Structure 1
Amino acid sequence: MRATDTLFADILTDSTTRRITADLFVGLDRVAEGIECSSIDLVWDGSQQVLCSGKVELVYQDDWGRSIAPEKLTDWLAPFGAWLDLKYEITMGDFSRSVRLGRLVVQKPRDVRRQRMVLAGRVFYPGEKITVDVADAFSITMRERFVTPGQPPTAATAWGELARLTGWPILRNVPDVDVPQTVTYQENRLDAVFDLGDVLGGSPYLRADNTLTIRPFTPGAVVATLHDGPEGQIVSHTVSEWDADQVYNQVVVRITDGDMVTAIADARITEGRLRYGLASQGAWGRIPYYVSSEYLKSVDQARAYAQSRLAIVSQQKTTIASIEMLPDPRLEVGDVVRLEASVDGSVTVGRIQKIALSTTGPMKVEAKLL
Structure 2
Amino acid sequence: MRDASARVRDVILDGGLNARWVFDLLYDGDRRLADVPIEPGATPTWDASRFVVAAGTVRVVWDDDAARSMIPRSMSDWFAPFGAELQVDCIVGAGVFAERIPQSRFVITEVPDATEAAMLWDGRLIHPGEAFTLTLKDRLAKVQRDDFPYPTAPRTTSAWSEIQSVTGLPVVRNVSDVTVPATPYEGSREAALKALFDRLDAWPHIDSTGALTSRPKAWPDPVDQFVNVVAAPPRFTSEDTWNRVAVTGRSPDGDPIYSVREVRSGPLRVRNADGTASPFGGATYPYKSDKLATQADVDDYANGLLPRVARVRSQTREVVETFNPLREVGDVATFADTARYGAQLNRIRSISHQGGVTRSIVEVADE
Matched, 1:322 2:318: yes
Q: 1:332 maps to which residue?
A: 328
TM-score by length of 1: 0.85
1:244–1:317 CA contact under 8 A, matched in 2: no
**1:187 corresponds to which letter in structure 2?**
G
| CA–CA distance in structure 2, aligned partners of residues 303 and 220 of structure 1 | 25
Q: CA deviation at 1:75?
A: 1.3
Who is 2:109 aligned against? 107
After superposition, where does 1:74-153 map in structure 2 within 5 Å? Answer: 74-149=76-151, 152-153=154-155
Instruction: State yes or no: 1:65 paired with 2:60.
Output: no
- 2:10 equivalent to 1:10: yes
Q: What does the per-residue CA deviation read over 1:11-39, in whole Å, with 9 as the maximum and x for residues that have no partner?
A: 33554332112111233332211123223
- For residues 67 and 263 of structure 1, the distance between their equivalents in structure 2, rounded to whole angstroms, comes to 57
- Consecutive unaligned residues of structure 2, counting only runs of 5 or more, are none
**Distance in 1 of aligned mates of 2:168 and 2:69:** 33
* Contact residue 44 and residue 333 of structure 1 kept, 8 A: yes
Q: The residue matched to 2:154 in structure 1 has which SS? A: coil
Shift of 1:86: 1.1
Q: Which shifted more, 338-347 or 7-16?
A: 338-347
How far residue 68 of structure 1 moved from its aligned partner, in angstroms, is: 1.4
Query: Which residue of the partner structure matches residue 356 of structure 1?
Result: 352
Q: Which moved more, 1:285-294 or 1:344-353?
A: 285-294
230, 234, 243: which one aligns with 1:239: 234
Paired residue type of 1:240: R
The worse-fitting range, judged by mean Cα deviation, of 32-41 and 281-290 is 281-290
How many Å separate the matches in 1 of 2:161 and 2:242?
A: 31
Shift in CA distance, 17/111, structure 1 to aligned 2, threshold 3 Å: farther
1:356 Cα deviation after fit: 1.4
* Aligned counterpart in structure 2 of residue 42 of structure 1, from 31, 41, 44: 44
Identity of aligned residues (%): 27
Provide the alpha-carbon RMSD of the alignment. 3.1
Distance 1:295 1:177 in 2: 12
Residues 313-369 of structure 1: CA distance to partner in whole angstroms, max 9, x if unpaired? 4443331111122221111001111113387585342010110124x3632111111
Deviations 1:275-314, CA, capped at 9 Å, x for gaps? 4544755866554444567887765555455445545544
Query: Relative to structure 1, is the Cα distance of residues 337 and 19 closer, same or farther in structure 2, using a 3 angstrom cutoff?
Result: same
In structure 2, distance between residues paired with 1:56 and 1:103: 14
Residue of structure 2 equivalent to 1:250:
245
Q: Is the 1:253–1:303 Cα contact (8 Å) retained in structure 2?
A: no
Question: Would the aligned equivalents of 2:195 and 2:289 in 1 still touch at CA under 8 Å?
Answer: no
- How far apart in 2 are the matches of 1:170 and 1:81? 19
CA contact (8 A) 1:325 1:364 kept: yes
Q: What whole-Å deviation, never above 9, does each CA across 1:208-250 have from its counterpart, x for those lacking one?
A: 11111111111112212112xxxx2x22111111425451313
Give the AA of the match of 2:318: S
- State the SS of the aligned residue for 1:35: coil
Which aligned pairs between 1:200-215 and structure 2 lie closer than 5 A?
200-215=200-215
**Residue identity matched to 2:73:** E
Q: Which range moves more in the overlay, 39-48 or 342-351?
A: 342-351
Question: C-alpha distance in 2, partners of 1:295/1:118?
Answer: 63
**Shift of the alpha carbon at 1:270?**
5.7
> 1:221 and 1:45, CA in 2 relative to 1: closer, same or farther beyond 3 A?
same
CA distance in 2, matches of 1:322, 1:295: 37
1:158 aligns with 2:154: no
TM-score if structure 2 supplies the norm length?
0.86
> How far off is 1:151 after superposition?
5.5
Shift of 1:199: 0.4
- Deviation of 1:98 after TM superposition, in Å, equals 1.7
- 3-state SS of paired residue (1:40): coil
Give the C-alpha shift of residue 118 in structure 1.
3.0
Tell me the SS of whatever aligns to 1:175. coil
Greater Cα offset, 50-59 or 12-21 = 12-21
- Could you tell me which amino acid in structure 2 is paired with residue 44 of structure 1? W
Q: 1:369 to 1:77 in 2, by over 3 A?
A: same
Q: Distance in 2 between matches of 1:241 and 1:195?
A: 30
| Structure 2 residue identity aligned to 1:26 | Y
**1:32 partner letter:** L
In 2: Cα distance, 1:124 partner to 1:175 partner: 57
- The worse-fitting range, judged by mean Cα deviation, of 269-278 and 143-152 is 269-278
Contact 1:247–1:317 (CA<8 Å) still a contact in 2? no
Aligned-partner Cα distance in 1 for 2:134–2:166: 28
Which amino acid in 2 is paired with 1:209? T
Unpaired stretches in structure 1, ≥5 consecutive residues: none
Q: Pick closer, same or farther for the CA change 1:328–1:254 going to 2, 3 Å.
A: closer
Equivalence for 1:347? 343
